[in-house]
Structure 1
Amino acid sequence: MKFKNPPVNSLSLELLTELVISLEKLENDKSFRGLILTSDRPGIFSAGLDLREMCGRNPAHYAEYWRAVQELWLRLYLSNMVVISAINGASPAGGCLMALCSDYRVLADNPKYNIGLNETLLGIVAPFWFKDTLVNTIGHRTAERALQLGLLFPPADALQVGMVDQVVPEDQVQSKALSVMAQWLAIPEHARQLTKNMMRKATADLLIKQREADIQNFVSFISKDSIQKSLHIYLEKLKQKKG
């Protein structure tokens, strides 16, 4: 599955909806056992959540958007398929979250391709289920430091802390993902799926039990004048960079 939402594969409401529908179709078709997530835009895996969906809109829109973000995470995190991320570009924030939902992550060896949850740099806070996903991957102390500082890890550092499983030359990302997929698919399906669910269910249940409260928290937070102001300033800076 290749992300294609120019220029930086931002997770717009439209893209989130398409991804969720596509994942549902694949899950329901038992002939599909594995999924490789990658980008059709060299240099960027996904820039993450679309800030335009979170700035200058009404509360109903914020709620709809956040529900779609939750749904994508739940579908990816609890997928019965083997999910492998072939990360062929920069992967901040929501892009990193998608990768963290995978069973295995292969990152291209390019110093420009940073990965991490950098929400604090934008003046926003990663929700508890983003945090839990990161803690499950790299451990509590490393996650605590990374989240507070909004760290983006270059490939060698991402590998060292365990945020990715392998770093390979850029032209080998897809072939490595395919060879890893073959290894995972060789495991008896039922046993692997039950084990994955056992490992991930408690984390997912925390969100499932409080989805509505999480949506309301997001809407309340993102609607604050101070947050809207910082998002607006950040979006203006991005426009100037493009200009």
Structure 2
Amino acid sequence: MTGPVTYHYEDPVATLTLNHGKVNALSPDVIAAIEAALDRAEQDRAVVVIKGQPGIFSGGYDLKVMMSGPKQAIDLITQGSHLTRRLLAHPFPIIAACSGHAIAKGAFLLLSVDYRIGIEGPFTIGFNEVAIGMTMHHAGVELARDRLTKPAFQRAVIGAELFAPHAALSAGFLDEVVTASALDEAALQAALRLGKLNMTAHSQTKLKARAGLLAALDEAIALDASQLSQT
């Protein structure tokens, strides 16, 4: 698989590498490519590792698309929210290897997967929406409310605070922080550990544990589409 997302499968791990411009901006094509890679990983019954480029996991939605018109922006946000829901309900474990900055939708991707590994360094993780004049969408609020600590939720969503890697670990964006040179091995070891799970039990337990969040996201996605179309 070529393009903005590359796919590499080596049993039992499928690695999805984002490679779209300097900041791995998430455009409709990139999200569609992630979806296609997830389809392939599901067929391979693989544990998934999602990684970015050195220094950047993702800087969020593609601003060129967001600024091209209201419909394009609404469609992209809706597409991204559906991806979030799919990641949360994916039947096999998903690991994020956060190779640097993760901003806006990039940070939401971290909150959408099962295990998140970041790296030490001068990197920031979080939501800048309020800082740049965007009201946070309902789907984003619900996801952040579920995955972040209560104090961090207030600081990140309402205050647009960005977190250094170890602070992001305490806030709930990450589960582990390693050196940059250790990231790939840490992701592999996490994948191998999770790959030993009974996948039927994993999938069914994941859906049961996240039933409330998934229901809240379904309502939020519909509400966002309705409200955004009226702005």
Taking structure 1 as the reference length, the TM-score comes to 0.83
What stretches of structure 1 move > 4 A for 4+ residues in a row?
Answer: none
Larger Rg: 1
Is 1:186 matched up with 2:196?
yes
Task: Please identify, of 60-69 and 42-51, the stretch whose mean Cα deviation from structure 2 is larger.
Answer: 60-69
Is 1:17 matched up with 2:32?
yes
1:49 aligned counterpart, secondary structure: coil
- CA–CA distance in structure 1, aligned partners of residues 133 and 203 of structure 2: 38
Is 1:117 matched up with 2:117?
no
Whichever residue aligns with residue 163 of structure 2, its letter is F
Whichever residue aligns with residue 92 of structure 1, its letter is I
Whichever residue aligns with residue 45 of structure 2, its letter is F
- CA–CA distance in structure 1, aligned partners of residues 74 and 168 of structure 2: 32
Displacement of 1:210: 5.3
Identity of aligned residues (%): 24
Aligned to 2:153: 143
- CA–CA distance in structure 2, aligned partners of residues 164 and 187 of structure 1: 21
2:67 aligned counterpart, secondary structure: coil
Aligned to 1:168: 178
Whichever residue aligns with residue 105 of structure 2, its letter is G
Task: Assess if the C-alpha contact under 8 Å between 1:106 and 1:165 holds in 2.
Answer: yes
Task: Assess if the C-alpha contact under 8 Å between 2:59 and 2:104 holds in 1.
Answer: yes
Task: Please identify, of 202-211 and 97-106, the stretch whose mean Cα deviation from structure 2 is larger.
Answer: 202-211
Aligned to 2:13: none
* Equivalent of 2:63 in 45, 51, 54: 51
User: Structure 1 93/84 Cα, relative in aligned 2: closer, same or farther at 3 Å?
Assistant: same
Task: Please identify, of 85-94 and 196-205, the stretch whose mean Cα deviation from structure 2 is larger.
Answer: 196-205
1:11 aligned counterpart, secondary structure: coil
Whichever residue aligns with residue 195 of structure 1, its letter is T
Task: Please identify, of 89-98 and 201-210, the stretch whose mean Cα deviation from structure 2 is larger.
Answer: 201-210
Is 1:98 matched up with 2:113?
no
Task: Assess if the C-alpha contact under 8 Å between 2:66 and 2:73 holds in 1.
Answer: yes
Superimposed CA distance per residue, residues 160-197 of structure 1 (whole angstroms, 9 cap, x where no aligned partner) = 22321111010111100111111112222111111111
Whichever residue aligns with residue 144 of structure 2, its letter is L
- CA–CA distance in structure 2, aligned partners of residues 7 and 179 of structure 1: 28
Superimposed CA distance per residue, residues 118-149 of structure 1 (whole angstroms, 9 cap, x where no aligned partner) = 21111112222212222222223320122111
Structure 2: unaligned runs, 5 residues or longer:
1-15
Question: Which is richer in helix?
Answer: 1
Taking structure 2 as the reference length, the TM-score comes to 0.87
User: Structure 1 56/188 Cα, relative in aligned 2: closer, same or farther at 3 Å?
Assistant: closer
User: Structure 1 148/44 Cα, relative in aligned 2: closer, same or farther at 3 Å?
Assistant: same
Task: Assess if the C-alpha contact under 8 Å between 2:169 and 2:176 holds in 1.
Answer: yes
Structure 1: unaligned runs, 5 residues or longer:
222-243
CA RMSD of aligned residues (A): 1.7
Whichever residue aligns with residue 34 of structure 2, its letter is L
- CA–CA distance in structure 1, aligned partners of residues 221 and 91 of structure 2: 21
Superimposed CA distance per residue, residues 39-66 of structure 1 (whole angstroms, 9 cap, x where no aligned partner) = 1x21111001112212142x43234323
- CA–CA distance in structure 1, aligned partners of residues 105 and 26 of structure 2: 8
Aligned to 1:131: 141
- CA–CA distance in structure 2, aligned partners of residues 22 and 126 of structure 1: 28
Aligned to 1:38: 51
